[in-house]
Structure 1
Amino acid sequence: MTTDTLDTAAREALSSACAQVDDPQEHDAVDGVRPGLVVRPSDTDQVAEVMRASAAHGLTVVPRGRGTKLSWGTAPSSADVLLDLSALDRVLDHAAGDLIVATQAGALLADVQRTVGEGGQRLALDETVPGSTVGGVLGANTSGPRRTATGTARDLLIGITMVRADGVVAKAGGRVVKNVAGYDIGKLLIGSGGTLAVITDATFRLHPLPADHRWLSVPVDSPTRALEVAQSVVHSQVVPAAVEVDWAAGSGSVSVLVEGRADGVAGRAEAVRGLLGSDATESTDEPADGAAYPWDVAATGDRRSIALKLTCVLSGLDAVLAAADDTGVTVRGSAGSGVLYAALGPDTPLDDVRTALDRLRRVCGDHGGTAVVVDAPAAVKAAVDVWGPIPAIDLMRRVKDQFDPDHRLSPGRFVGGI
């Protein structure tokens, strides 16, 4: 079977499984790989039917939400069926009294926030890529500034519905925050890039909307100063919601978010000003770049920036920023939790990309972290090791074999060709 055409029997089976089956358009390509068909189910049952039909005909399947991160990772080795989940777009339930929300995977994160916001609550996940769906956030495990205080999706997810590669519907967790029964399959699916199962709905715990908040920012002119400021805040008693660093060409800024009760925020903001020094500024406005990554998420094809994810312990922040200076890399991210995002321009010569990646991997590795290529033009992905060393790769392959023994879900999209 090729990704360009599917036989008549396979098309008929998919059409019987799902009301809407279309031929692919140019924008349906998955990191340059054109699917054979685009299938748009409307609920979990139809997703299961599509997966059963695909299994029966030996078809590979790539799930998609709104397509904002389809070029992340590596290109699939095959994409017979593009499983478009955008019609699964409803917020199923907002139980404000229990601080939980249940939503379908294709729902826009912004729509979920509006719904729960009407009840004075929020899902503490930053929208780092505009137009992201709940399923896309889970599959890519994206995170933004507020992960310093509230963690990532793994810390907020309490229940999930998924469809296995063979079409079996399975559930994990539930609607209770203190749910500890069985294996935490939901956390395993987060960040798996659609390679283990298709997520169709999820339940999260919520937080109250803060009554007040302040952003405080100070310019920093050296990696050492950036580390000093970040450490002083993280190790203080102010309990920051975010500690962000922006860095480019030898200078940048550290920004701190405090939020909560109005009286408490005022006092904590004053304490932060004392830590940042006389150059600190204060505002209730979100920084201009907000939670956005330091690359152009709208760029496509050969005009895509080389997007990187860098992790390190807090004490290694200065070394990572110094390496970024030496290699021409722009950095933005959560200094408070050691998760940074970086970018090189799309016209960066391949030799310079290799040099930068090697240097950053050495430095991040020396400080307990890694450097991964999140996104890049095809020529760059072909020339470098996108993922770098993966110590647990054998275990990850065994997990893939258990969930998807025929390797039909997003084949080749994840580390080690998983």
Structure 2
Amino acid sequence: MSREAGLAVTVIEALAAACGPDHAWEAGPADTVDGVPVGWVAEPADADAVAAVLRFTATEGLSVLPTGAGTKLDWGAPPTHADVLLDVGRLTGVLAMEPDGHSATIAAGTSLRALRAALMKERRRLPLDVGSPGATLGGILATNEAGPLRHRFGAPRDLVTGVQVALDEGSLTRTVDGYDLARYVCGSYGTLGVITEATVRLEPLPAARAWVVRPVSTPREVQRLTEALVASPLEPAAIEADLPGAFAGTAPRPSELAALFEGDAAYVAHRAESAAKLLGGGATVESLPPAWWGRYPFGTDDVALKIWGRSSELFAVVYALRDAAGGPVPVRGSVGLGVAHVALPDTITPERLDGMLTAARTVLLARGGGGCTLLRAPLDLRELVETHGPEPLPATAARLKLALDPEDRLSPGRTSEPS
């Protein structure tokens, strides 16, 4: 038996011992991550099994790539290699809930849909209304994914109060001296450890909700109206804008600004009507959100960007992207916080894409800071442009990576989202 064949047998035996014989296998042609072939797949049932897998991979020097539902495995930089794809989808359920309902500990493989259903029985919610509802909690945290409610409640980094993480050598930990581990693993893309569970802050389900929707014509108008809402005493739970643009051959849709109000029925009705008067211009109060609310502007085959900066300067970035693209491009996001996503066709040339990224980053740098990340694109495009930009990983994050994964076995090649 060759050394390679012997190693394959050893790996399967070890993974099967940790996960069960039906939950470990040698990867086939379909088991790839963003074009990178995988050697083996393991599906541990609990945190101890995750730790057992990592203890084995550490002894063999194998790389590990954590995954949940796989909804965002093609976001960010692809891994340079992936020996073991570690699927935490069997780690599910609400593990504990505080008697007051203010927080709960959730297994990382729990889907957001299942979590919503479980919490609804308690009249509670986790205010993460992300654009990929089929995602698992662990995947949402690993990518720091947030939706419209980030305007009031913040991103995952602001909602997670504690985590349990399996480290590269196979230990389980909840703390790292000198670091807020819960905050750093959010947006780490699996490079620091495998999240096995998280304690999150919960909120009561609102008794009533209403959306105020207003047609808009330009990014500058969106900026003016957003600033008026933010400066008012109305306190919307979310402010989102949809500037559809149009790819070649597609019909344009009207642009809209929408604000969400939550609370008891009388409070919501009063605030929504007041917001409609403030916005003017045909603003209406709706009991249901616009069709685009909480969804990304890009499809499965599109190139996707994420831009963020000072909310008052976001629209200068939109104009810069339009200039670099030669016309309007679809933009949607939380304009009250200066966070948005951009869709581009997958036919875009590397030169045009690089020019758009450079234009956005230059404007942001000149106007108080921010960033423009290439979330997703065909591999041939990503190989030619900077995913996050020229900025290095912050020193504190780099030190934590070196401390927790000195041999770079966890998600090698992937990089943390800038804070």
What TM-score results when the alignment is normalised by the length of structure 2? 0.91
Residue pair 1:387, 1:415 contacting (<8 A) in 2 also: no
Residue 143 in structure 1 maps to residue 146 in structure 2: yes
Residue pair 2:54, 2:170 contacting (<8 A) in 1 also: yes
Of residues 93, 96, 99, the one that matches 1:93 is 96
Q: 5 Å matches for 1:156-167?
A: 156-167=159-170
Q: CA deviation at 1:335?
A: 0.4
Q: Which residue of 2 aligns with 1:131?
A: 134
Q: CA deviation at 1:394?
A: 4.1
SS at match of 1:132: coil
| Greater displacement, 245-254 / 366-375 | 245-254
Residue pair 1:324, 1:330 contacting (<8 A) in 2 also: no
Cα offsets for 1:257-279 (capped at 9, x unmatched): 11111111111112211221041
Q: 5 Å matches for 1:205-220?
A: 205-220=201-216
Amino acid across the alignment from 1:349 = T
Q: CA deviation at 1:172?
A: 4.1
CA distance 1:214–1:27, shift in 2 (3 Å): farther
2-side partners of 1:230 and 1:365: how far apart? 22
Cα offsets for 1:51-108 (capped at 9, x unmatched): 0000011100000101111111111111110001111122223345232222110000
Q: CA deviation at 1:320?
A: 1.9
SS at match of 2:211: strand
SS at match of 2:174: strand
| Greater displacement, 9-18 / 253-262 | 9-18
CA distance 1:4–1:63, shift in 2 (3 Å): farther
Q: Which residue of 2 aligns with 1:366?
A: 366
SS at match of 2:38: coil
Q: CA deviation at 1:127?
A: 2.7
CA distance 1:102–1:415, shift in 2 (3 Å): closer
Residue pair 2:245, 2:330 contacting (<8 A) in 1 also: yes
Q: 5 Å matches for 1:119-268?
A: 119-172=122-175, 183-249=179-245, 252-268=255-271
Q: CA deviation at 1:324?
A: 3.2
Structure 2 segments unaligned to the other structure (5+ residues): 247-253
CA distance 1:391–1:33, shift in 2 (3 Å): closer
Q: CA deviation at 1:395?
A: 3.8
Residue pair 2:191, 2:416 contacting (<8 A) in 1 also: no
Q: Which residue of 1 aligns with 2:407?
A: 406
1-side partners of 2:210 and 2:156: how far apart? 24
Residue 52 in structure 1 maps to residue 77 in structure 2: no
2-side partners of 1:8 and 1:406: how far apart? 24
1-side partners of 2:241 and 2:5: how far apart? 45
Residue pair 2:245, 2:331 contacting (<8 A) in 1 also: no
CA distance 1:161–1:105, shift in 2 (3 Å): same
2-side partners of 1:6 and 1:219: how far apart? 62
Amino acid across the alignment from 2:311 = L
Residue pair 1:42, 1:85 contacting (<8 A) in 2 also: yes
Amino acid across the alignment from 1:117 = M
| Greater displacement, 356-365 / 163-172 | 356-365
Cα offsets for 1:355-393 (capped at 9, x unmatched): 211111112222321101011111110111111022544
Residue pair 1:324, 1:331 contacting (<8 A) in 2 also: no
CA distance 1:267–1:5, shift in 2 (3 Å): farther
Cα offsets for 1:131-159 (capped at 9, x unmatched): 10000000000011110001111111122
Q: 5 Å matches for 1:21-36?
A: 21-36=24-39
Residue pair 1:96, 1:119 contacting (<8 A) in 2 also: no
Structure 1 segments unaligned to the other structure (5+ residues): 174-180
Of residues 75, 78, 81, the one that matches 1:78 is 81
Q: CA deviation at 1:409?
A: 0.3
Aligned CA-pair RMSD:
2.2
What TM-score results when the alignment is normalised by the length of structure 1? 0.91
